[in-house]
Structure 1
C-alpha cells in the first residue's frame, strides 16, 4: 500500500468508528474491551487523542509516565476518558482527514492501531466489523518485522502463521491458520481470538498461550 491508500484507510476507519461509538449505549461504553483494563470508553479516548497530541504534551506525558511507553498510553487514555462521550466521538470524527501523527508514530503504526482498536471495541460487543484485507495484511507484516511493542516473533516462536484469506505468512514451525484479521489481533496480543485458530499447530499454540496468560 502507498501512503495515500493508508491515509484513506485511517480516514475511513476513524469515521466508521465515530459512527459506531455514537450509536452505542452508556452500558456498551462501559463494557470491557479486548484491551486489558480498558473499557470501550478508554479505547475511544485513546483513538481520539492520538491525532491531536502534540510534541509538548507528549513530552510532559512521557515524564509523567517515567519513560514507560505502556504507562504513557494507559495514563493518557484514562485521563482523556473523563470527557463526555459526545466530545470523544466528535474528536475522533474530526480526526478523519487529519494528516497529523502522534510524536514518534509512523503511518503504518497509526493504521494498525485503528484497525486493531476497532476490533477491541466491536468484538466484545458482538458487533461484526470487517477489517480491510489488504490493510490488515500490511499491518501484520509491519508489526511482525517491527517487533515493538508486541514482539510477536518472540511470543509466537515455533509456529508458522498463515492467513487463509490473503497471501501472507510469517514464522517457522507448526502451521497455524486463520483469517488475516484474526492473525493481526493475535500478533498484537489479543488472545481472545485463539478459538478461531486452525491448522496443525493451533492446539499447541492455544495450550501454550493459556499456560502463560
Structure 2
C-alpha cells in the first residue's frame, strides 16, 4: 500500500470504530479488552490520541512512566480514558482526516494501531469488524520489521507464518496458516484468534510453548 492508501484506510477504520463506539452501553465502555488492564474507554481514547500526541505529551508520559515506554503509554491511555465517552467519540469526528501521528512513528504505525486496537475492543464485546486483508498485510510487514514492542520474530521463531487470503509469508519452520487478520493478532501478541489458525506449527505458538522449547 502506498502512503495515500494507508491514510485512506486509517480514516475509514477510525470512522468505523467511532460508529461502533457510539452503540456501546455504559457497561461496555468499561468492559475489559484484549489489552490486560485496559478498558474499552482506555483503548478508544488511546487510538484517537495519535493525531493529538506531540513532543510535550511524549516527554510528560515518559516522565510519569519513569522511563518505561509501555507504562507511559498505559498511564496516558488511562488518563485520556477518563474523559466523558461523548468527548472521546467527538474526538474521532473532529480529527477525521488528520494525518498527524506521534513523534518517532511512521505512516504504518497509525494503521497498525487502528487495525489491532479495533479488534482489542470488538472481540471481547462479541462484535465483528473484518480487518481489511491488504491493510493487515502492510501492518504485519511493519510488525515483522521491528523488534520493539512486539518482538514478533523472536517470539515466533521456528515457524512459518502463511496468510491464506493475501500473498504474505514470513519465518521458517512448521507452518501456521490463517487469514491475515488472525496472523496480525498473533504477531502483536494476541491469542484471541488462535482458533482461526491451523497447521503443524500451531502448537509451537500457543501460550507457554516458548518455554517448553527453550526459546
Instruction: Give the equivalent residue in structure 2 for 1:202.
Output: 202
Secondary structure at the counterpart of residue 51 of structure 2: coil
> For residues 41-52 of structure 1, what are the structure 2 equivalents within 5 Å?
41-52=41-52
Instruction: Give the equivalent residue in structure 2 for 1:28.
Output: 28
Secondary structure at the counterpart of residue 59 of structure 1: helix
Alignment: residue pair count? 212
How far did 1:210 drift?
Answer: 8.8
**Is contact 2:159-2:204 (8 Å) kept?**
no
Residue ranges of structure 1 left out of the alignment (5+ in a row): none
Instruction: Give the equivalent residue in structure 1 for 2:172.
Output: 172
Note closer, same or farther for the CA distance 1:56–1:207 as it changes in structure 2 (3 Å cut): closer
Question: Are residue 145 (structure 1) and residue 145 (structure 2) matched?
Answer: yes
RMSD: 1.5
More moved, 30-39 vs 202-211? 202-211
**Is contact 2:164-2:177 (8 Å) kept?**
yes
Q: Distance in 2 between matches of 1:24 and 1:145?
A: 35
How far did 1:95 drift?
Answer: 2.4
Instruction: Give the equivalent residue in structure 2 for 1:80.
Output: 80
**Is contact 2:165-2:179 (8 Å) kept?**
yes
How far did 1:41 drift?
Answer: 1.0
Instruction: Give the equivalent residue in structure 2 for 1:95.
Output: 95
* Bigger fraction of residues in helix: 1
How far did 1:197 drift?
Answer: 1.5
Note closer, same or farther for the CA distance 1:154–1:26 as it changes in structure 2 (3 Å cut): same
**Is contact 1:10-1:96 (8 Å) kept?**
no
How far did 1:96 drift?
Answer: 1.9
String of CA shifts for 1:104-156, please: whole Å, max 9, x gaps.
11110110011000010111111110111110011111110112110100001
Q: Distance in 1 between matches of 2:34 and 2:207?
A: 20
String of CA shifts for 1:9-68, please: whole Å, max 9, x gaps.
111111111111011111111111111111111101111212112211221221221221
How far did 1:206 drift?
Answer: 2.2
Q: Distance in 2 between matches of 1:133 and 1:207?
A: 25
TM-score, scaled relative to structure 2: 0.94
Instruction: Give the equivalent residue in structure 1 for 2:156.
Output: 156
**Is contact 1:47-1:92 (8 Å) kept?**
no
How far did 1:211 drift?
Answer: 6.5
Note closer, same or farther for the CA distance 1:154–1:85 as it changes in structure 2 (3 Å cut): same
More moved, 182-191 vs 141-150? 141-150
